[in-house]
Amino acid sequence: MPDTSQLTLIWAVAINLAALLFMAWDKRAARKRRRRVPEKRLLWIAALGGTPGIFAAIHGLSHKTRKQPFRRYLFLILAAQIIAAGLWLAM
């Protein structure tokens, strides 16, 4: 059975890969004028730990670069995650 650090690493890789794939799917849907991935879902993925994957997709795919409400919420999620990590490490 993997220990906690291994499970955390597996989770981080999986959620960030999912975030990147959801953003790529949304970019493709936008270009083809098809049904898009709701921003709420993308923000939930970020909140579950996929923030680096979302940021990688924003910069790597040039997707959602001008969506101010989305980016504002994304930065709030990132700030909350940084604070939570800091508190967790301080314990």
Do residues 60 and 83 make contact, with C-beta atoms less than 8 angstroms apart?
A: no
Three-state SS at 3: coil
Quote the number of domains for the chain.
1
Do residues 19 and 61 make contact, with C-beta atoms less than 8 angstroms apart?
A: no
User: What pTM value is reported for the model?
Assistant: 0.88
pLDDT tens, residue by residue, 40-79: 999 999 999 999 999 999 999 988 888 789 999 999 999 9
CA nearest 51: which of 61, 59, 42? 42
Q: Torsion angle, CA of 50/54/56/57, rounded to 10 degrees?
A: 140
Band the pLDDT of 29: cuts 50, 70, 90: very high
> Domain of 78?
4-90
Q: How many helical (H) and strand (E) elements, i.e. helices and strands, does the chain have?
A: 4, 0
Structure tokens at 2: 């993997």
DSSP 2: -
Indicate if the pLDDT at residue 2 is higher than 90.
no
